[in-house]
Amino acid sequence: MKRTDGKHMKVLVSDTLAQEGLDILNAAKGLEVDYKPGLSEDELCGAVADAEALIIRSGTTVTARVLDAAKSLKWIGRAGIGVDNVDVPAASKSGVIVSNTPTGNMVTTAEHAISLMCALTRQIPQATASMKAGKWEKKIFKGRELFNKNLGVVGLGNIGKIVADRAQGLKMKILGYDPFVSKEKAASLGIELVDLDELCKRADFITVHTPLNDATRGIVGKKAFSLMKKGVLLIQASRGGVVDEDALLEALNNGTVAGAALDVFVQEPTAADHPLVGHPNVICTPHLGAATFEAQLNVAVQVAEQCVDYLVNGEIRNAVNIPAVPAEQVEQLQPYLTLAEKLGLFHAQLRPEGFDHVEIEFMGDVAGMETRPVVLAALKGLLSPSKGNAALVNYVNAPVIAAEQGITVRESSTKETHDYTSHIRIRTRCKDGKEYSVEGAVFNVNDQRIVSVDGYRVEVIPNGTLLALKNEDLPGVVGGIGCLLAEENVNIASMQMGRDVPGGTAIAFLSIDAEASPETLKKLEAVKHVLRVKQITL
């Protein structure tokens, strides 16, 4: 990816970043690094105005206002896991990719949760404070063993699974809740998968490891606390807001929760008089889950490498607002991404009337792959002509634009196929109720073809400039078209034709060396028996 004006692409880093990460950015050709940690929102709006990339940690909040000011922004990189400090829907609407570093600090965060659990059950912080005050209160700091206790893990993502693994080393019994994990997968990890209610009823310790979103906000709340064993111990090292703080305070005060270890809060930094921070049965740390030398180095290096991969090489990794493609399918899927976008672009120029429904059908081998990115590629092609500039539509904002235009999108797949081992069909329904289709197939990695247009069988290479004609299937029509183009000094590179029945209607696609002028197109439309002419650029 390069700027068209030849200038270096600006990368704004608005939070502190390990020097190793900055070194990677500074060494990349074509990038200009602007390192300005600690900006206010007003300052951030000014600094990001001409930046192509923005790298942040938890200290920067990327609001819709910031995104509106970022006229050139293409990519936001979060050095860490959580992206709740980024307005992801607003970024998607603006076509900005949001990436995180999901593996850089997962071990560190999991270890912190285990440390909090150990410190909580043995009251280590309280005992330390007592000794530092000159006391020797051995009898009042009686703890509990972890051995043979039930640990309930809420959220079995990367961090939750590591916590479960480490806790098994302490000979704890693991109960897990995660609606996206199968019982078979959990069992293979030594975890008994249960629903949240059962976990609350049976667990002696509960640790929370979910992202913060609409589904998880307050997931450990009044109902959950009402089901817990009296004297349960809670560890919260995920995201502030996943645990309802008011409900937790009530559960601490009534004795349901004997103690809590908290690393995250709804408001950070916390107020000096925060009731949970001051509670005698709470130990707490100031969001230290990822605060190790190793983790900070890991996330800095990862986010810097991802930034270079995208801006310099056009490779997207760990995007949270674009579907992920399994590593083993990336190479296989690439020709289908190319084909789908070309099919969409072709179809939109051939049928510029507008449509309110689109269906993308996958047939054959491609149906067994991760097809969601291919759907996005098709939408990008379909919507680009309507925006007047293909650069305004990308994989990120294509679904948003479709929704804003009232277009419903449907996807279907079948392993069954007839003429080709793998192909894609795009069907659209226009606002007048008419339906149209275009179909393409992958012959090999570098050879994709359009094989059907509205039911007409063809074999068109989707590249360059095409003249699409519909005419009555009569002798001399094609000859007349060829003669006129020769007179207009338009050279035909290749021609593909199809028809419904002899003497009915036919279509022709002429690949030409350069775009035909509007005057030439009008002359073509005037040729006897020619019904329609469209010029398509791919």
Q: How far apart are the first and last CA of the chain?
A: 19
Adjacent-strand bridge partners of 358: 409, 428
CB 205 within 8 A of CB 151: yes
**Which of 525, 531, 509 lies closest to 342, judged by CA?**
509
Question: Who contacts 23 (Cβ-Cβ below 8 Å, separation ≥6)?
Answer: none
Task: Report strand pairing: 465-472 vs 530-537.
Answer: antiparallel
Q: Tell me if 348 sits within 8 A of 382, measured CB to CB.
A: yes
Give the whole-angstrom CA distance, residue 457 versus residue 454.
9
Q: Is 429 a catalytic residue?
A: no
Cβ-contact 349, 370 below 8 angstroms: no
Q: Which of 43, 145, 268, 525 is catalytic?
A: 268
CA distance 525 to 527: 6
Q: Mark whether 198 is an active-site residue.
A: no
Q: Cα(293)–Cα(286) distance, rounded to whole angstroms? A: 16
Q: Cα–Cα distance between 253 and 243 in angstroms, integer?
A: 16
Quick check: is 499 catalytic?
Answer: no
Q: At what angle do helices 518-525 and 477-487 cross, to 10 degrees?
A: 160
212 close to 240: Cβ distance less than 8 angstroms: yes
Rama region for 38: left / alpha / beta (φ>0; ψ in -120 to 50; rest): left
Which residues does residue 78 pair with via DSSP β-bridges, in sequence order? 56, 100
CA R_g for the chain: 30
Which amino acid, residue 415? K
Give 106's contacts (C-beta < 8 A, 6+ positions apart): 81, 158, 159, 162
Q: Which of 57, 287, 425, 427 is catalytic?
A: 287
Three-class HEC string of 32-43: EEEECCCCCHHH
CA–CA dist 457, 191 (Å, integer)? 55
Indicate the burial class of 91 (C-beta count within 10 angstroms; 0-12, 13-18, 19 or more).
buried
Shortest CA distance to 300 belongs to which of 29, 20, 11? 20
Dist CA 310 CA 304 (whole Å): 10
Residues recognised as catalytic: 239, 268, 287
